[in-house]
Structure 1
Amino acid sequence: MEILLYLGGIVFMLIGLGVSIGLHEVGHLVPAKLFGVRVGQYMIGFGPRVWSKRFGETEYGVKALPLGGFISMSGMYPPSRDAGPAKGLFASLVQDARSANDETIAEGAEERVFYRLPVWKRIIVMLGGPLMNLVLAIIIFTVMASGIGVQQPSTTVSAISECMLPAGASQQECGADDPAAPAAEAGFEPGDVLVSMDGRSVQTFAEASEIIQASPGEPLDVVVDRDGERVGLTLTPEPAERGAVDANGQPVLDDDGEPVTHTVGYAGIYSQLEYVRQPIGTGTNLAMQQAGAVTELIVNLPVKLWDVGVSLFTDQERDPNGPLSVVGVGRIAGEVAATDAPVLNRLVVLMNLLAALNIALFVFNMVPLLPLDGGHIVVALWDGLKRAWAKLTGRPVPKPVDATRLVPLTVVVAVLLIGMGALLLLADIFKPMNILGG
C-alpha cells in the first residue's frame, strides 16, 4: 500500500507538471492567435513525438520528455538576408538560426509573423506563459488557504503533559518522582474545549496561552466544554524561565551578550490543530511571498548550485531551501503521499508543492535571457525603445531587432541550463534532499 501511495504522489506531480506546462504554452498560444500570428506547432515535452494531431493550421502534440514545451510561431525574427557562407562556429550558429526562422514563414502568410506585431502585442504574447503559471499558483494557494484553510492551534485540547520534566532533560516518559504538570493536576482531558480562563472568554489558543504565560503561580478559574457540558477547573501555571524574543522572533540579548530571560506560566496543554479558512486574498499573498523566495534563490543560484555540487561529492547535507530537479520534486511528492498523516494534510502539502512549482516556472521564465520568455520580452522592449528614439529624433523607422545575433549567447545560456539540470538530477538521485526528517 505504501508503494502505491508513493507512486500516486509521483503521478499527481507529473500530471500537475504536465498541466502547468500545457497551460504555460496556452498562455502564449491564445494571444498569438488572437493577434493573427500563424502558429505551426503546440507541443508539450521534447524529444520524439508520442502523439500529435493537426487542427487547422496548428499541429498539437505530446513528446516523450515532459520537461517543458513550446509553440512554433511564424517569423519570430525578421527574415535573413543572403550574407554568403558563414565563417566560424558562432557565425554558423547565427546562420542556422536564421534559416530555421525563415522556414517558419509560410508562403502567403508573410504578414502573419510575430516580429511584425506592435511591441505591446509581442510583450503580451511572451508574458502570457509565465502569467498563466502565476495565475494557476494563485488559484491553488487560494483553494488551499480559503477553501481548505490554514492549520492553526484551536481551543480544543489534543493532549496534556502528565508531569513536569526538567529543562533540557532527555527523558521522554514521566518518572515516579516527577511532579504532575499543572494541566494534569487541574484535571484537563484530551478533547476539552477551552471556553473561558480567568473570567475571560477565549476564542483562540493564542489568547489562552497569553493568559497562562502572564499568570505564573496564580490560580486561574477555567471553564471547558467536555462532551457538551460545562466543567469548571482550577489551573495554577508553574513558573518557568523562557528566553525573551523581539518582534521578529529573535532572541533578546543583554549588554553582555547573554540571552535575556523572563518568568512565564507553564500549563502543559497541547492544542489540536484545525483548518481555519482565510480571507480570499490570502492565496495571492502566499503566491507573492513564494515568488520573492524563488527570486532570492535565483539571485543566489550560483552559490546554491556550488553547495549542491559539494553535497553530492561529500557528506555535507543538502540545503532544504535549495533548488530541485523534476526528479527531486517527484520524490518528495511520493514521500509526502506515503507518510502516515491524514489524507487532507497530505493533499495540502502536494498542492503546496504544485503551486510552488508554478511560481518557480513563472519567476524563472522571467529571467531576461534568451531563450527564456524574459529574454524575448527584453528584445521587444529594445525594439520599442529604438523606434521611440527614432520618432523622437525625427529619424527613419529602424529595422526590427534581429535577435538571431544573440544566438551564441543563447547557446551559452542553454548549455548552462542543461548543466544545471544534470547536476540537480544527479544530486536528486544520489543525494536526495531530506525535508521530512526521515
Structure 2
Amino acid sequence: MLAYVIGVVLFALAICVSVALHEAGHMVTARMFGMRVRRYFVGFGPTVFSFRRGETEYGLKAIPLGGFCDIAGMTALDEVTAEEAPRAMWRFKAWKRTVVMSAGSITHFLLGFIVLFAMAATMGLPNVDQKPIVSTISDCVRGGTTVDQVNNPVCQPGDPAPAKKAGLLPGDVVVSVAGKPTPTWNEMVTQVKAVSGPVPVVVERGGKQQTFVVDVPKVTRPAANGGTESVGAVGVGVAKTIHYSVLGAFGGATSFTGDMFARTWDGLMAFPKRIPAVFNSIFGAERDPNTPVSVVGASRLGGEAVEAGLWQVFLLLLASLNFFIGVFNLLPLLPMDGGHIAIVWYERVRDWLRSLRGKPAGGPVDYTKLSAITMVLVVIGGGVTLLTVTADIVNPIRLQ
C-alpha cells in the first residue's frame, strides 16, 4: 500500500512539474525575444511566497497544480502600461509570437522524449509493434494436447531443437521465413506454423542479414477450436522489450516518439466517441481501458505501476501524458495556445491578402466576439474533466 501511495504522489508531482515547465517554456522564449514578462508562478490560489528579480515576479501559489506566465500585451486588446507598451507581445513578428505560444507544447514534447531516451538507454523500450525480435532460444520444442504440456521446460530424449541447432541467437530479428517477409512476430509465427522440413530463415544480426537453414518439425498443439492441430515450431520467444546502446538509444527514442505521436493523434480523433463509454462506466458498466482518463486516473495507474514494480509502465504513462497535453494544447481552439496561434496567422494571412489588393492592414481580431465560443469550449472541457475524474474514482482503469 505504501508503494502505491508513493507512486500516486510521484506521478502527480511529475505532472505538476511538467505543467510548471510548460509555463517556463513560454517565459524563457518570451524573454529571449525581448517581450515583457510580468509574472511567473507555479500553482494557483493564494500566494505562498514571491520575489522579484529584474522586471519579473516569481512565486509559488498554495495549490500546486499547473502555473501561469503573464506576458504583457498578449493581444492588442490587453491593457499595458506606458513602460510595457514598446515590448508588448502583440508588437512582435508573427513567427516570434508563434514560437512563444508553442513553447509550452514543445516543452512537453521534449520532456516526453527525454523520458523515452532515458528508458531506451537503461531499461529498454517496449516492443509495441511486435517486431520479430528473438529473446529466448528453447532447448527443445514439444508437442502436446494442453498448454502445460507444450510449455513444459523439461526436454525428453529425441525432442527437436530447431532454432538452437540452426544457430539462431537472442537478439536476432527475423526478416523472412521460407522467402516470405515477416514484419511482425505474429506473421513470423503464422509462416513457421505453415512450413516443415529444412527452411531458409533470414535474420538481421549486428546490422547484417544472415541466412540459416532451420529444420522445422511438425508438432501437435492445442487448436483455437478446442481440438488439436499439427503445426511447425522452431522454439523461439519474442522480445517484449527492445534494448539499445547509449548511442542507439537516441534513434530508438526518436522512432518511438514518432509512434507515440501517431497514437496520440489517433486517440484525440477517437476522443469524442469514447465519452459515452466513460459516462456508462460511472453507472456500473465495465470500464473500457481505451477510454480517456483524468490526472486522477493517470496518477492511480502510476501508483499501481510502482506497487507492481513496473517502472517501465510508470515512465511510459508519464511520457504519453506529456505528448497528449502537448498535442491537445496545440489544437486551434481558444483558450488553448493553438487557438491564439491560429488567430495570429489568420491576421497575418488576412493582412497579406489585403496588401495584394492595395489595402492597409486590418485591425487586430476582437477576442471579445469569440468569448461565447470560448465559454462553450471551457464548459465542455470542464464537463469532460469532471466526467473522467468521477469515472476514475468510482470505476477506475486498472493495470491488471
The answer for the alignment partner of 1:82 in structure 2 is: none
Identical columns (%) = 33
**Is residue 239 of structure 1 aligned with residue 219 of structure 2?**
yes
CA–CA distance in structure 2, aligned partners of residues 271 and 382 of structure 1: 51
Are the structure 2 counterparts of residues 180 and 297 from structure 1 closer, same or farther at C-alpha, using a change threshold of 3 Å?
Answer: closer
Structure 2 matches for 1:19-98, cutoff 5 A?
Answer: 19-79=17-77
1:303 is displaced (CA, Å) by 1.4
Q: Secondary structure at 1:324's aligned position in 2?
A: coil
Q: Secondary structure at 2:85's aligned position in 1?
A: coil
Are the structure 2 counterparts of residues 388 and 142 from structure 1 closer, same or farther at C-alpha, using a change threshold of 3 Å?
Answer: same
Matched positions, count: 362
TM-score (normalised: structure 1) = 0.72
Residues 14-35 of structure 1, C-alpha deviations (whole Å, 9 max, x = no match): 2211221122112111121122
Structure 2 matches for 1:198-347, cutoff 5 A?
Answer: 198=166, 200-204=167-171, 237-240=217-220, 263-266=230-233, 276-277=243-244, 279=248, 280-315=250-285, 317-339=286-308, 341=309, 346-347=310-311
Residues 311-337 of structure 1, C-alpha deviations (whole Å, 9 max, x = no match): 11132x222122111110110011111
Say if 1:51 and 1:61, in contact at 8 Å, map to a contact too: yes
Q: Secondary structure at 1:300's aligned position in 2?
A: helix
2:90 to 91, 110, 115: 115
Residues 390-437 of structure 1, C-alpha deviations (whole Å, 9 max, x = no match): 221111222222323212211111111111111111000001012x22
**Is residue 197 of structure 1 aligned with residue 165 of structure 2?**
yes
Tell me the C-alpha RMSD between the 2 structures: 3.7
**Is residue 4 of structure 1 aligned with residue 2 of structure 2?**
yes
CA–CA distance in structure 2, aligned partners of residues 106 and 78 of structure 1: 13
Are the structure 2 counterparts of residues 270 and 302 from structure 1 closer, same or farther at C-alpha, using a change threshold of 3 Å?
Answer: closer
Aligned residue type for 2:372: P
Say if 2:51 and 2:57, in contact at 8 Å, map to a contact too: yes
The answer for the alignment partner of 2:366 in structure 1 is: 402
**Is residue 135 of structure 1 aligned with residue 105 of structure 2?**
no
Say if 1:182 and 1:268, in contact at 8 Å, map to a contact too: no
Aligned residue type for 2:277: D
Stretches of structure 2 that go unaligned for 5 or more consecutive residues are 128-132, 178-187, 199-214
Aligned residue type for 1:306: P
CA–CA distance in structure 1, aligned partners of residues 362 and 239 of structure 2: 67
Say if 1:238 and 1:267, in contact at 8 Å, map to a contact too: no
CA–CA distance in structure 2, aligned partners of residues 313 and 428 of structure 1: 12
Aligned residue type for 1:335: E
CA–CA distance in structure 2, aligned partners of residues 411 and 71 of structure 1: 21
1:271 is displaced (CA, Å) by 7.1
Q: Secondary structure at 1:70's aligned position in 2?
A: strand
Stretches of structure 1 that go unaligned for 5 or more consecutive residues are 80-100, 219-234, 245-257
State the structure with more CA Rg.
Answer: 1
Are the structure 2 counterparts of residues 133 and 182 from structure 1 closer, same or farther at C-alpha, using a change threshold of 3 Å?
Answer: closer
